[in-house]
Structure 1
Amino acid sequence: MAAMHPTHATVDRRALQRRVVRVLALGQVLGGLGVGATLALGALLVTEVSGSSAWSGMAATMNTLGAALLAVPLARLAQARGRRISLSTGAFTAMAGASVTIGAAVLSSFLVLLVGLALLGAGSALNLQSRFAATDLAPDDTRARDLSLVVWSTTIGAVLGPNLFEPGELIGRALGLPELTGGFVIALVAQALGALVYLTALRPDPLLLAVADGEAAGRDRPSSAGGLAVLRSSSPARRAVLTVALSHAVMVALMSMTPVHLTLQGASLSIVGLTISLHVAGMYALAPVFGWLADRSGRRATILLGQSLFVASLVLSWSGSASPVLVTVSLVLLGLGWSASTVAGSTLVAEAVPPADRPKLQGVSDLFMNLAGATGGALAGPVLALVGFDGLSAALLVLVAVVVLAHRGGAGPAPAGPHRGDPRD
């Protein structure tokens, strides 16, 4: 890491950590606002520019691919320059993506549009990195809670974003831009504000300070190994990354096929929309609860709770696939299972290596998480066509079993104190 380590010996770490979490939460709200305002619009814009609805899925695909490709470079930047520079660079990249997307609509260029949507994936990549930034200075007993508060703040932007379609239309019309591009103007402004927040408020940088603390104590010096090498050399790291990636794959696979299944069953669009809204609420609304639980009862116990919620969801969608009500309940449980598994699993990713090596592993984790989600979404369609919604649910139980077996009987580190076991256990 570059020789930029702050020497704030008198900094109150807990007070600084509280401020860092507040700054990251605000950045998440702004970033989530930009992502929420553009994801649905992206599919509509792709359809309009390409002239075919068959390409509409490319909006989500390019966003996910962009997030995956940018995860490691942003993590390397964090390794070299700290969270402040890395997160603000992600926001600037997302701004560029919004600008390119608007330009593509003006030019009616499909290929340029795909590039813009991929660059917008930086917004998703920095949102993922933000949750790890919340762990840099966090003590063991509140690390999962701090991470979960940043995850929870995504809810605000994710809920508000899709409701900005009409204001976006007014903005686009006022600027003389093509229809559907106003939401990308909102995303551009939101990411600009997010970059400003990171650049001005993340001082001192939490990652650089955490690394300086470790080096001052004569430990935690950065290794020369890359993220994949760190992953290969650490079984706790592999277990943590596996948990996050496969949990995301299960969630994306079932969630992405639910609208298709419900529509084929004759459900109205309002029912489909309500089901997805409740699912998203399950993903984010109770994240702080699972963070608190991971700190109190242990990371592994919370992950196993999340996998149990997955099992309940998949069994319900398997046995009740003909009932829109049961499918909706299943999607809520799916969101809760993802929340518990992702909060606790991401905390384990942060704890698997010293602060100096965290960005490397976190970048690899985000890469695999995005690739697993993209793969799960891509394979879910053919599986649905072959064996139906209930068959898809049954197939996903295999991934849950892999995660459970990975954590079964796993030992945690030595106890953290005399009063209770290490929360990482």
Structure 2
Amino acid sequence: MHQSSESGAPAGSSVAESSSLSEWQNEPRIVSLQRRSLVLLIVGQVLGSFGMGASPSVGILLAEEVTGSETLAGLARTSATLGAALLGIPLALLATRGGRRIALSAGWFLAALGAVALICATVTDNIALLIGGMLLFGAGTAAMLQSRFAATDLARPLNRGRTLSLVVWCGTLGSVLGPNLGEPGTVVSRRLGLPPLAGAFVIALVMLIIAGLLILIFLRPDPLLTATEHEHRDGRPIKRRSIRQVFGTLWSIRPARFALVVVIGAHLSMVSLMTMTPVQMHHHGSSLTIVGITISIHVLGMFALSPLVGWASDRVGPVRVIMLGQLIFIGSSVAAMISGGNEGWTMISLFLLGLGWSCGTVPGSILLSESVPADVRTSSQGMVDTAMNGFAALAALISGPLFALVGFGGLSLMAVLVAIPLLAYAVRIDRAVVVAH
């Protein structure tokens, strides 16, 4: 099943082949444990993402208020993404050693500590607390990302895509509600005698602590440790690997390497265009209300159809869904290039951009998990999350200068230049699978 060479057939490309290697996942005890774990992960995801939702809305206002500088405010806004990138691998290594329960709760608690720092930043106008709090807040993003992989630890191969995408989709509930913490936060701030922006982070603090406690107390038996135990019973030795060994193994497996590049490419294209869309629309006279609706449509494209994307990945294979995702990215870029500031075309472009991201990230995550050996799977997942967040932070930083240099059409063209090679490579892999079977 695991290809350690340049062989073309990706692990998991054949559902029948995949399912025949994991009979223990059909045991009633495992099925019951998977169902219970999935419910806990979903509830934790909703609570945690609700708390994390304060970052892109109230966090932006806080950054501008504390720093008084657009440049420094931009650095503060990027810090949360950098924090997620820096903590992706450590949390994955913690999961390898102590299980998902310890790693996920640690992520939520670190984010809660970040919320405390941000509350203090509102009181003191301290830039160091602001940036440090945003970095720690990124641990929540890392926990959200790891939760999607945790959902597949005990999942049947036939259901991995749907299970992973369900956790992604449920996080949308918090992500949509979280950015609206400003008004309730103001009420909380008045009652606690805090500055107006602090209240949103007080609410976030409570949500993040509850999410951490929920996972720490109730996620037992641990799904990852249970899966590892069965891997041992199946005669597959689980060895601890260094980061260098993990990356070497991941990079030597063509499907895994491809999955890594797909997830990074999806994040690069999405963040680059999404970050500069409000600026582009503002330049063409769009109101803040229309800009907000456009971003909401984009978020809808990212998450609303993710269960369908996961189902399709299970039915036709992740590689073919990745192919579809690249075509959607190209369509989004074309719509952006011809929009000329037209609000309707911009909304269509941003919806397709979100859907293309979903059709890259969900099947890419599934393909990675199916392709790598058990002894590097969790660490590889953390490495992919670190890479996608690292490149997202880079994309957010350079999108402004690139926008000034080549305009919105130039940024859109760059997304096409990312999508076309990935589409060609996906077609090549898919043909190799067809020939192999």
TM-score bracket for the superposition, by shorter chain length: over 0.9
Aligned to 1:391: 410
- Whole-angstrom CA distance in 2 between matches of 1:273 and 1:217: 52
Aligned to 1:364: 383
Matches within 5 A, 1:11-410: 12-226=29-243, 227-410=246-429
Contact in 2 for aligned 1:383/1:392 (Cα 8 Å): yes
Which deviates more, 315-324 or 257-266?
315-324
* Deviation sequence 1:71-116 (CA, Å, 0-9, x none): 1110010010000000000011001111111112222211121111
Contact in 2 for aligned 1:249/1:374 (Cα 8 Å): no
Q: Give the Å deviation of 1:252.
A: 0.5
Contact in 1 for aligned 2:49/2:178 (Cα 8 Å): yes
* Deviation sequence 1:122-179 (CA, Å, 0-9, x none): 0101000001101111111110100000000111001111222111111122112222
Q: Give the Å deviation of 1:393.
A: 0.6
The number of residues matched between the two structures is 412
* Deviation sequence 1:236-259 (CA, Å, 0-9, x none): 221111111111110010111100
Q: Give the Å deviation of 1:345.
A: 0.5
Contact in 2 for aligned 1:152/1:284 (Cα 8 Å): yes
Contact in 2 for aligned 1:259/1:272 (Cα 8 Å): yes
- Whole-angstrom CA distance in 1 between matches of 2:318 and 2:295: 27
- Whole-angstrom CA distance in 2 between matches of 1:224 and 1:45: 41
Q: Give the Å deviation of 1:18.
A: 1.9
* Deviation sequence 1:2-47 (CA, Å, 0-9, x none): xxxxx99976222222222211111110111011123211111111
Over 3 Å counting, the alpha-carbon distance change for 1:413 and 1:389 in structure 2 is closer
Contact in 2 for aligned 1:43/1:58 (Cα 8 Å): no
- 1:409 aligned counterpart, secondary structure: helix
- 1:179 aligned counterpart, secondary structure: coil
User: Amino acid of the residue matched to residue 206 of structure 1?
Assistant: P
- Whole-angstrom CA distance in 1 between matches of 2:432 and 2:151: 22
- Whole-angstrom CA distance in 2 between matches of 1:326 and 1:41: 29
Contact in 2 for aligned 1:38/1:187 (Cα 8 Å): no
Contact in 1 for aligned 2:25/2:31 (Cα 8 Å): no
- Whole-angstrom CA distance in 2 between matches of 1:337 and 1:392: 16
Which 5+ residue runs of structure 2 have no aligned equivalent? Answer: 1-23
- Structure 2 length normalisation: TM-score? 0.90
- Whole-angstrom CA distance in 2 between matches of 1:370 and 1:79: 21
- Whole-angstrom CA distance in 1 between matches of 2:189 and 2:41: 29
- Whole-angstrom CA distance in 2 between matches of 1:16 and 1:321: 52
Contact in 1 for aligned 2:63/2:77 (Cα 8 Å): no
Contact in 1 for aligned 2:256/2:367 (Cα 8 Å): yes
The structure whose residues are more often helix, as a share, is: 2
RMSD: 2.1
Aligned to 2:6: none
* Deviation sequence 1:371-398 (CA, Å, 0-9, x none): 1111222222122111211121112211
User: Amino acid of the residue matched to residue 284 of structure 2?
Assistant: Q
- Whole-angstrom CA distance in 2 between matches of 1:338 and 1:414: 24
User: Amino acid of the residue matched to residue 257 of structure 2?
Assistant: R
Which deviates more, 23-32 or 51-60?
51-60
- Whole-angstrom CA distance in 2 between matches of 1:110 and 1:389: 32
User: Amino acid of the residue matched to residue 253 of structure 2?
Assistant: S
- Whole-angstrom CA distance in 2 between matches of 1:381 and 1:197: 40
- 1:166 aligned counterpart, secondary structure: helix
Contact in 2 for aligned 1:31/1:190 (Cα 8 Å): yes
- Whole-angstrom CA distance in 2 between matches of 1:9 and 1:162: 40
* Deviation sequence 1:264-303 (CA, Å, 0-9, x none): 0111111101100000011001100000010001100111
- Structure 1 length normalisation: TM-score? 0.92
User: Amino acid of the residue matched to residue 328 of structure 1?
Assistant: M
- 2:238 aligned counterpart, secondary structure: coil
- Whole-angstrom CA distance in 2 between matches of 1:99 and 1:73: 22
- 2:428 aligned counterpart, secondary structure: coil
Q: Give the Å deviation of 1:223.
A: 4.8
- Whole-angstrom CA distance in 2 between matches of 1:336 and 1:280: 9
Contact in 2 for aligned 1:95/1:188 (Cα 8 Å): yes
Contact in 2 for aligned 1:36/1:157 (Cα 8 Å): yes
- Whole-angstrom CA distance in 2 between matches of 1:322 and 1:45: 30
Aligned to 1:4: none
User: Amino acid of the residue matched to residue 335 of structure 2?
Assistant: L
Contact in 2 for aligned 1:28/1:130 (Cα 8 Å): yes
Contact in 2 for aligned 1:321/1:389 (Cα 8 Å): no
Contact in 1 for aligned 2:119/2:201 (Cα 8 Å): yes
